Structures are given as structure tokens and as C-alpha cells.
């Protein structure tokens, strides 16, 4: 699990790792910010099989909010949980980018994360929020997780180290 402040390069690192190892070994999803000319206005959940759905937006009418974003929990669950389950059935490595405040609004997602992290021999490459959150803190306490703190100074080295660690496991 990569951890670090927002916009430090965690998702970019995951994409670089996938490219280096070979995208055919990976399934799952990543979260991509949506921007207009001047600002971040939302987030898409993008599966490694090519699906993409808007899961949060400043324009959303959802009553479920994280900061200024309305969160579409049903849409997130439909795309993310399906992508992770499918990856477990067909791929060696599952990407879960990210385990954050928005994602913790989904009870089925939280349950799935606890299940797969605590009981699987499957390789999970993910990002997890650095800030404290009761549900995220419980995930961080599960055994079998190796954390890679990332910042602007160590992101290239960290990407290299994770790539090498995964290659040793494959």
C-alpha cells in the first residue's frame, strides 16, 4: 500500500509499476481526478478493463458529501467491487486505488477490503489515505500489509522498490 499526501504521485506510481511489470498481470481500478481549466471538480473510477464512471463531483446532487464533492456510492460500488472481484478471478495482481474517505462510505467495499487484505495470497497494489479515519485505521492494522510512504523526494525510488518487491513475489 502506497501512502502519502494527495497529489504526491501515488496513482502515477501505480501506473508506472503496471507498465514496468506488464498490464496483463493487473486488474482492479484506480481513481482519476476530473479537472476543468482551473480546478479539480470530481473523480472517476476507472477499471483496468476500460470502464469509467464519475463517482464524485462538485455538481452532484447527492446528499452524501465529502468536502465539496457529492459522492455517488451506488455507482462506485457497481464499478469498483465488480472490478476487484473480477481481478481476483482472472489476474495475479489487483489494483485498489484508493482506500480513502469517499470509498469508506461504502459498507460492501469496506467489508471486501477487510476480507481480501486479511485472507488472500493475492498481490494487492493499492493506495491508502494517510490521514486518520476510524475505518481506514482498522485496515491499516491488518496483518500482511506492507506500507510504502511516498513524498515528492522519494517517489521515483519508492516506485522502483515496489516494482522490485512485486517481481520477487510473482
Task: Measure the CA angle with vertex 153, ends 1 and 103; round to 5°.
Answer: 30
Helix, coil or strand: residue 17:
helix
What pLDDT band is residue 142 in, cutting at 50, 70 and 90?
Answer: confident
Question: What pLDDT sits at residue 41?
Answer: 97
Helix, coil or strand: residue 166:
helix
Backbone angles phi, psi at 117, to 5 degrees: -70, -40
Tell me the C-alpha distance between 49 and 151, whole Å.
29
Question: What pLDDT sits at residue 34?
Answer: 96
Question: What pLDDT sits at residue 59?
Answer: 96
Q: What is the pLDDT of residues 13-46, one digit of tens each?
A: 999 999 999 999 999 999 999 999 999 999 999 9
Q: What is the pLDDT of residues 102-122, one digit of tens each?
A: 999 999 999 999 888 877 678
Query: Any bridge partners for residue 31, and if so which?
Result: 45
Percentage of residues in the chain with pLDDT exceeding 70? 99
Average pLDDT in the chain:
94
Amino acid at each position: 500500500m502506497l501512502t502519502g499526501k494527495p497529489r504526491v504521485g501515488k496513482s502515477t506510481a501505480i501506473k508506472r509499476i503496471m507498465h514496468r511489470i506488464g498490464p496483463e498481470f493487473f486488474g482492479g481500478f484506480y481513481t482519476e481526478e476530473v479537472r476543468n481549466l482551473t480546478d479539480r471538480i470530481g473523480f472517476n473510477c476507472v477499471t483496468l478493463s476500460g470502464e469509467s464512471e464519475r463517482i464524485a463531483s462538485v455538481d452532484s446532487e447527492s446528499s452524501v458529501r465529502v468536502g465539496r464533492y457529492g459522492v455517488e456510492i451506488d455507482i462506485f460500488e457497481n464499478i469498483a467491487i465488480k472490478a476487484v472481484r473480477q481481478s481476483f478471478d482472472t489476474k495475479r495482481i489487483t489494483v485498489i486505488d484508493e482506500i480513502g474517505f469517499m470509498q469508506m462510505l461504502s459498507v460492501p467495499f469496506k467489508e471486501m477490503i477487510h476480507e481480501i487484505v486479511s485472507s488472500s495470497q493475492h498481490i494487492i497494489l493499492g493506495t491508502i489515505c494517510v490521514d486518520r479515519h476510524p475505518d481506514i485505521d482498522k485496515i491499516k492494522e491488518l496483518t500482511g500489509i506492507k506500507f510504502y510512504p511516498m513524498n515528492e523526494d522519494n517517489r521515483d525510488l519508492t516506485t522502483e522498490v515496489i516494482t522490485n518487491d512485486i517481481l520477487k513475489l510473482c
